[in-house]
Chains A and B, each alone.
Chain A
Amino acid sequence: MTIEIKTATLEPIRHTFEHTRRRFGDKPASRYQEASYDIAPEHNFHYRPLWQPDKLLNDTSRTALVMEDWYAFRDPRQYYYGTYVQARAKLQEVTESNYSFFDKRGLAERMPEEIREQIIRCLVPLRHLELAANMNNVMCCAYGTSTVVTQAFLYNGMDRLGVAQYLSRIGLLLDGNSGEALATAKDHWMTDPAWQGLRRYVENTLTLEDWGEVFIAQDVVLDTLVYDLIYRQFDAVITEQGGSDLAMLIEFMQEWHKDNSRWVDATLKSLAAESDHNREVLGGWIAAWREKAVADLSPLGEVAVGDEAVAASIEALDKRLAKAGL
């Protein structure tokens, strides 16, 4: 038996907005579709930006990549604002309970001193790198084309700020909130030879003007390598040396990276599938930034994991690129 409540049904005069009907047909559209497709201004801009007079306000030429239809992308996670914050809130809840467990049990004190130092040297400085990732993704959001593309960049950008803040909290958990670990980690970031290549790489990305290139340099090349090196390989090394409690502090980064990679892969694939032109442009950027990243990451790889570490991360990157047809 089921119970059946009678409600008045009113025949709708249309099933969705015109912009979603034109794209997906006259049927109820999903909330992701109604809030993501064809809602960005595209025509009749009134004034040229004082800060870039050779372009229009929303100008597709802010990247060398070309798309027939900039809405050809689809976020496999179908994040619009509501689904995005709810997904992150879930992840945040788990993370919060991990951090408070770590704190309550005084697990920082149980960590061998050299492990703590190693974390402060090799992990905590990434908070600065994450700030650059925040700026880079917000840049792609600000100058990219179409909401399906730009909203995901903003989510990514804000996520990176969140990661930077969690990394800072790891520092504070290790130094009893004195801020010393953060200061030491910043010293490493500024002067430690293990980090200088990476810092140079990052500062270089912050001066780029083509948002497509930023996407490649940051989200594709650097993130793939760094997340593999630190959150997989370094995590394993630390666990082996008796620091397995670190795992609960970086679970957020691992889960987030998995989630974000689904979108990065889909975006890369759509860009590459579009044309030979795009594949050529992407290929050029990838070659250039991959080479730099390998050189710049190697010193950290050696310090954090060992000689072979970066080679293993490159494998992860190449696999990823091959999947996208690059």
Chain B
Amino acid sequence: MTARKLNLKDKYRLLTRDLEWEYSYRDYEEIFKQESFEGIKITDWSKWEDPFRLTMDAYWKYQAEKEKKLYAIFDAFAQNNGQQNVADARYVNAIKLFLTGVSPLEYQAYNGFAHVGRQFGGVGARVACQMQSLDELRHVQTQIHAMSHYNKHFDGFQDFSHMHDRVWYLSVPKSFFDDARSAGPFEFMVAIGFSFEYVLTNLLFVPFMSGAAYNGDMATVTFGFSAQSDEARHMTLGLEIIKFMLEQHEDNVPIVQRWINKWLWRGYRVLTLVAMMMDYMLPNKVMSWQESFEVYFEEAASALFKDLARYGIKMPDYAATAIAEKEHLSHQAWSIFYNYGHAAAFHTWLPTEEEMDWLSEKYPNTFDKYYRPRYEQWRRMEEAGERYYNPTLPMLCQTCQIPMGFTDMDDPTLVSYRQSEYDGDRYNFCSDGCKDIFDFEPEKYVQSWLPVHQIYQGHCGGAEMEDVLGGYYRINLGTDNLDYKGSPDEARWNDWHGLETAEEKLKKAS
């Protein structure tokens, strides 16, 4: 008997797809309870095209090789105190933002993909989601390990998980993922699998990893390279689920379109943090936010939506707003954080003269006109010994939870402001996108845990700012935050490199 040769597709079918059987002792609906409540119609799971045909033995083998190499680098990094080799200690604040704001999202993705990896009725889709769940667990754990050594030499990493559940600006990414996970399984896949992992990943994950590469952060960039092939798998899954839903039934099209509109906007708002990181927090810049938005959103997404047009899917209307914002977003965001530098868990600072020139060059229509004067004013205050901190609490958008600081794009001196009424209460929004999301599901978004409301209602440790920041958030005031100038991070960095601060130089000279 000579064995027949099996091709990859047949083999995967026999080893995985064929494991399924038709239930006869219990009903399908009892086993997959969540498959129909969202209104998505699946007529035939067997039409699912496996985006990658990976069996577990191959998964263990490849992933173990990748892990072995990755941890060898982490060990070498720690042994040689690689944190001394980053471009400048200000850079480290970018990865503080990553560990407190993004790594916990990897954790949520691990939870969310396990959830859909149980709930989908098709074994092919289930298994692909389960593998993604496992990968996401990998990502959060390797990120913690990559930054574990930084945590031993810089402030602000130490309580990332505690902070993610509480700190005001971290409620932006947290509520985004809570929103996706509390949706049904198909919406979760449009939110995370498609919008986040397929369309937006080059604007989130990649800028942080490129930032690491440009700024001498060996540990983080090695993680980035190691995760690349995982991310590629996740992208193919995100695209497959969209196509599958659209091909299954025409009634799915308007539902999917609404979800795409919602989740691209919701995801784009989270990217605000990335925009300011790219333009302001990287000592060695990779590219401007505007440039990366043009390449990875305007060009890539328009190609994608051209491809999806045959299903009747079109580019979300809000894309025009996002495009209009690209010359403003990072500047407005960094201004908010500079203002609230006493309430963040990382350091803020004013861009140097050189950096301002770079911003002028990259943003010729907006930077000199609107933002440079603002920074120059703050610099004068700082030089006069009155570094500006805003003592008030901002109003937050009910949907994206970002402080209401975005302006009208036609008139960047006016704050953009929308309102809705629901059940006798008034709710505020930063944009049409966020207002529409609320208006479609108000009963969901009235539940938002808005950090500022919560502080006023006394749920965050007390009435004084110290109670909230130090007690409830566990931010070490003046150590983890305030201006980079004068921080312990700066002092240690200067000590490692034999540098003097401006203040010390001044003292010596007199």
> Which residues of A come within 8 Å of B, CB atoms?
7-8, 10, 12-19, 31, 34-35, 38-51, 57-58, 80-82, 85-86, 88-89, 92-93, 95-96, 103, 106, 108-109, 127-128, 130-131, 134-135, 138-139, 141-143, 147, 150-151, 154, 157-159, 161-162, 164-166, 168-169, 172, 176-179, 182, 186, 189-190, 199-200, 203-204, 206-207
Contact = CB atoms under 8 A, between A and B. Distances in A.
A92 B60 contact: yes
24 contacts: A7-B81, A12-B153, A13-B153, A13-B154, A13-B155, A13-B488, A18-B158, A19-B161, A44-B166, A49-B181, A51-B37, A82-B67, A88-B64, A128-B19, A130-B19, A150-B111, A161-B130, A165-B57, A168-B14, A176-B3, A177-B4, A178-B4, A204-B25, A204-B26
A196 B185 CA distance: 31
Contacts of B30: 206-207
Contacts of B141: 35, 80-82
A14 B152 contact: yes
A43 B18 contact: no
B117 A18 contact: no
B61 A151 contact: no
B133 interface: yes
A127 to B, nearest CB: 6
Contacts of A34: 144-145, 148
A46 B162 contact: no
Given A39-B140, A44-B449, A206 B4 contact: no
A18 B3 CA distance: 58
Given A92-B60, A161-B127, A151 B3 contact: no
Interface in B132-166: 133-134, 137-138, 140-142, 144-145, 148, 151-155, 157-162, 164-166
Contact of B182 (A50, A93, A207): A50
A157 B402 CA distance: 38
A150 B144 CA distance: 18
Nearest to B154: A13
A165 B11 CA distance: 10
A39 B64 contact: no
B507 interface: no
Given A139-B118, A203-B26, A154 B4 contact: no
B510 interface: no
B358 to A, nearest CB: 32
Interface stretch (B172-180, B212-220, B349-357): B172-180
B26 A206 contact: yes
Contacts of A176: 1-4
Contacts of A47: 175, 178-179, 182, 444-445, 447-448
Given A13-B152, A35-B141, A151-B137, 14 more contacts: A7-B81, A10-B84, A15-B152, A46-B449, A47-B448, A82-B142, A158-B134, A159-B56, A161-B16, A164-B15, A165-B55, A168-B15, A206-B23, A207-B31
Nearest to B159: A18
Interface size class of B (residues with CB under 8 A): 35 or more
Interface string B1-14: 11111100000001
Given A128-B19, A154-B137, A158-B134, A46 B5 contact: no
Interface of B: 1-6, 14-16, 18-26, 30-31, 33-34, 37-38, 55-57, 59-61, 63-65, 67-68, 70-71, 79-81, 84, 104, 107-108, 110-111, 114-115, 117-118, 123, 126-127, 130-131, 133-134, 137-138, 140-142, 144-145, 148, 151-155, 157-162, 164-166, 171, 174-175, 178-179, 181-185, 444-445, 447-449, 454, 474, 488, 492, 496
A242 B283 CA distance: 71
A198 B80 CA distance: 57
A58 B112 CA distance: 11
The listed residue with most A CB atoms (<10 A of its CB), out of B26, B114, B447, is B114
The 6 closest A-B pairs by CB, nearest first: A89-B64, A162-B56, A12-B152, A35-B141, A142-B114, A131-B19
A76 B27 CA distance: 38
Nearest to A103: B3
A108 B2 CA distance: 11
